[in-house]
Amino acid sequence: MKYNHLFKKGTIGNLVLKNRVIMSAMGTNLAGPNGEVNDHLIAYYEERAKGGTGLIIVEYTSVDYKYGRAAFNQLRIDEERFVPGISRLAKAVQKYGARLFVQLQHPGRETTSMVLGEGRQIVAPSAVTCAAIGEEPRALTTAEVKEVVNQYVRAAYRCKLAGVDGVELHGAHGYLINQFLSPNTNLRTDEYGGSFEKRMRFVEEIVAGIKEQCGLDFPVTIRLSVDEFEDGGTNVELSKDIARYLEKVGIDGIHASCGNYNSMDKMVESMLFEQGWRVYLAEAIKQVVSIPVITVGVIREPEFAENILADGKADFIAMGRTHLADPEWAKKALEGREKEIRKCICCLNCTRETTYVRCALNVRTGRELEFKELSRIDEKRQIAIVGGGPGGMEAARVLTLKGYDVTIFEKDNQLGGQLNLVTQPKAKEKMNWMIQYHLNEMARLQVDVRLNTEATLESIQSLDPYAIFLATGAKPIIMDVEGHDLPHVCDYEDVLLERRSLVNKKITVIGSGMVCYSVTNQLAQKGNDVTLIEVPTATGEKVSAPTRMMLLNRLKKASVEIIEGHLVRKIQPNSVIVEEELSGNLREVDVDHVVFSMGTESFNPLEELYRSHFENVFVIGDAINPGSITNAIKDGFEKAFVLESIVTKKVSEEVLV
């Protein structure tokens, strides 16, 4: 076996797990409107169990829906009526040899009165406001604290009745247990605060109550923010003491996480974080306890995970978004199919979804009931795909799996499209994961890829294609402002592809977004005097607030001047005129060169021609909806998945006409 440590059996308490791979809990919003388990939720978790995961920790589950609701349709276990649904979920997972834990959670101050409803004020150990939430909580009374302890205990007992294998207490990320543990948020003077032991009492009573009600053999683990990355909060040294204490009172394992809502960029990392950067937190805890320690955080590759275990830094590997991108991660690693693993690139698309869990790379995530199995065609048919970006390659992958003969025409000398323009080293690494996955799939599935090849009408006609997919991508947007066509003005592609040599110059970059920040940083690193005029992209691309702040801070450290809240009025041979939005005051910024990084617009020059010669022509990706990897892959997958139905519908409509 290649990964002897990763696929060695492990134990938590007396529970035996078939391997050391854990799917960590992540909110999905797939639960029913009343917080109940439904078929969508079961299908989602069953897919991950089928993929070989040893332990699945079900998303944060409410123990108190009145004051402990973290989302509008959060999964619940606060009443007996939710036991049957949890039981169905457990059986669906366990039949594949996986084990199931339910994560018990109360958000405390990290929710809102809007989510709680009925005008209820949020609650916490003390009336300390979370800056990220902005609402002052009401301090729980001593009697209320004891009732919440009982709510946790009863919730765990319901889980045992449902046949769940164990529970994880969510004591991380600034939620209620974390709030009791942290000196920042626990200012109480009763028996639940004032000293280390008193701050520990809340979780200690929960653990003792669960062990009494469920038995000593019922595993109870806890997720801890080993470092909240906040002055006065939990840190590594304090968490070592917390871990020692928890082991003494009967906890069966510690899941080492970090952060809270005020340090969200550490909780859910962008692509700027290195693989496994959090492992040191688990390693620190493992030094002081003998119970199992679980590590988590941007772990994507089997070899990397194997080395963590081999080096004794942790006992189990937990991966969250990794399992969104590829539910078969464990199975593929076990079978030596690493090249087929679709690695999460930390694009944060899953955190921006407000309806239900989704993944930019894996369209089936959260839609398992909608896209069950690929239907293979009965006879060989040709498909032509023009453009080898992410949308085109995803369409090629799905169509080939369905039995089509696919040919990709790519005018450049490499596949990947706009993804190849990323230059920031850590982001580049992750984008390369995505490109390499599709390259491997093109080779494995024997897709006919024709690089450096224009898709002429004659070359397409020679294939006699059943359908044509136009994935011709997008081109940079140049702001329609006076002076935009002057010779010293260019776009971000000119910089990234080094079509212009810009060194030791005064450069103004106009735009925003990941590519813009990357281009700005690259120019600054080459010794240029750079000013960024931050204006919204034409496509409305948004970077999450924590990531944006991190990137802007890096630019400031690189001596980039950042101008916000201004409109670009005119570009002149040696300057850019901007107007402050609030005051209307004009300002002149001296320049040698101007670089636009305003996003992209569709590039679709072939549709009209092809529709006049072929029946089934489909436009996908940036060519129809520019600016998003998510949309490109989604479009390619969906149209490829339902191609026969689309064509049949089209033919039927023509017959009716």
The set of catalytic residues is: 175
As a whole number of angstroms, the distance between CA 507 and CA 559 comes to 12
d(CA 203, CA 256): 16
Q: For residue 171, report the phi and psi dihedrals to the nearest 5 degrees.
A: -110, 20
* Cβ atoms within 10 Å of 608's Cβ, excluding its own: 9
Contact between 133 and 116 (Cβ < 8 Å): no
Helix (H) or strand (E) holding 161: helix 142-161
Burial 61-93 (b: 16+ CB within 10 A, else e): bbbbbebbbbbebbbbbbeeebbebbbbbbebb
The answer to whether 46 and 93 are in contact (CB under 8 A) is: yes
Read off the DSSP letter of residue 120. P
What does the block give as tokens for 300? 């994507």
- Pull the structure tokens for residue 92: 């669906």
| Tokens linked to 597 | 């990084």
Token pair 């002897």: residue: 4
End-to-end CA separation in angstroms for the chain: 61
| Strands 575-580, 566-572: pairing kind | antiparallel
Return the residue matching tokens 């085109």: 392
Query: Nearest CA to 369 among 31, 40, 96, 634?
Result: 40
Cα–Cα nearest to 21, from 291, 350, 437, 320: 320
| Angle subtended at Cα 230 by Cα 223 and Cα 148, rounded to the nearest 5 degrees | 45
Is the Cβ–Cβ distance between 278 and 256 less than 8 Å? yes
Dihedral sign (CA 192, 194, 196, 197): negative
The interaxial angle of helices 83-94 and 142-161, nearest 10 deg, is: 50
Please list, in sequence order, all residues whose beta carbon lies within 8 angstroms of the beta carbon of residue 261, skipping any fewer than 6 positions away: 110, 130, 132, 133, 173, 174, 267
| Residue 527 CB coordination number (10 Å) | 11
